[in-house]
Amino acid sequence: MMTNQQLALLSNYALYAAMAMLSCAMIGYAIFLGVARAATGGSRVAAENEQTPVAAGNAPVPAEADRRADKNEKRPGIGSLDSSGLGILHGSAVEELSNRKIEEVDARSGAIATMLGWLGTMTLFVSMVLRGLSVQRAPVSNMFEFAVAAAFLVMAVFLGLGLKRPLKWMGVFVVTPVLLMLGLAITVWYAPAAELVPSLKSTWLVIHVPIAILATAVFTLAFVVLLLHLAKARHERKLREGTGKQASLLALLPDAAALDRASYALHITAFPLWTFTLIAGAIWGQKAWGVYWSWDPKEVWTFVIWVIYAAYLHSRATSGWSLKRSNVIAVIGYVAIIVNFTIVNMFFPGMHSYSGL
């Protein structure tokens, strides 16, 4: 029978394997976007050539109306997806050719990246299970375990949503921060497998902390989509001004309005989870320390985050607030989450000093 140390070591090996798989998945998603960008860029040029009449002497004479239409036309990229998950391109023969190219990308790099994403996510889960077995408890009691669990849930939620929606275009933007999180977990926040401190030996550990991790994971996805929305909105503005490029990588994303709706929906989903985290933490605090609220740094920052996101949702539901100002509040909210997890955990002593560092 293996010792606890052996199980903990196997957990670390599984984590390294998961990171390797997710790194390959990130490369696959990047290839998917790169080839799709080339396909959409090529279709745009070919479509322009199809619409260009040829005068005497075989000299191309562009039609003014066609040039104006090409300049003003908004061509959706692979982010504007039909039920088959393929991008909508323009032109008849050009569209057929480009769709075949994108189908090839989807069938190879995109599908392989998704498969590697699932394998990496399942291996992360195995790592968490081995870590829990090594100490006979839920593996969510320090910064290292929290980060690994959060990375797992970010990937699980993303891949789960991708079962019903074509989200391969988003893969590289999700896997990259997940790998960053895991890299910091194994290098900076790593804590050896150990038993729980007495104050954490409670059934509330498997209620309060996992919900906090899930809320953080959903907020992370919401933040990623929000950043994509901001970039896409800027790209669309440049196109309207005539200074943007149709063949830009951002042209492959859904339109800014769709990204905004997705980010807002994720924020709406995460906020009740964070609210539950705040309430459950207060109840657990009363059972552990005899008080519901002690103005501990961790409690204060959890409440600050709740207030910021409440302000964001309120601004979205209130007329008179611009979308830009609301998005600034959401960005501040996620920065507060990062501060809460890193700086507060590591440098602010208090009753929640469970970083394990």
Q: Which two tokens stand for residue 22?
A: 């997710």
SS3 assignment, position 318:
coil
Q: Which two tokens stand for residue 253?
A: 């994303």
Residue 350 CB partners (closer than 8 Å, separation 6+): 296, 297, 298
Q: Is residue 246 part of a domain?
A: yes
Q: Which two tokens stand for residue 273?
A: 């989870």
Q: Is residue 104 part of a domain?
A: no
**C-alpha 56 chain-centroid distance:** 55
Q: Is residue 126 part of a domain?
A: no
The whole-number mean pLDDT for each consecutive block of 10 residues of the chain, a chain of 357 residues, reads 78 97 95 76 47 46 46 44 36 47 63 95 97 91 94 97 89 96 95 80 88 97 96 88 72 89 96 96 84 86 96 90 91 96 84 57
Q: How far apart are CA 216 and CA 253, in angstroms?
A: 24
- pLDDT at position 95: 46
Q: Is residue 238 part of a domain?
A: yes
- For residues 278, 279, 283, 289, the Cα torsion angle rounded to the nearest 10 degrees is 30
pTM for the model: 0.81
- Burial (0-12, 13-18, 19+ Cβ within 10 Å), 123: buried
Taking the CA atoms of 347, 352, 353 and 357 in sequence, report the sign of the dihedral they define.
Answer: negative
Q: Is residue 352 part of a domain?
A: yes
Domain of 281, in residue numbers: 196-357
Q: Is residue 304 part of a domain?
A: yes
Q: Domain count for the chain, please give it.
A: 1
Number of Cβ atoms within 10 Å of the Cβ of 22: 26
Long-range contacts, 67-72 (Cβ 8 Å, 24+): 71/242
Q: Is residue 154 part of a domain?
A: no
Q: Is residue 309 part of a domain?
A: yes
Long-range contacts, 174-178 (Cβ 8 Å, 24+): 174/221, 174/224, 175/22, 175/25, 175/26, 175/29, 175/117, 176/26, 177/220, 177/224, 178/22, 178/151, 178/154
- pLDDT at position 120: 98
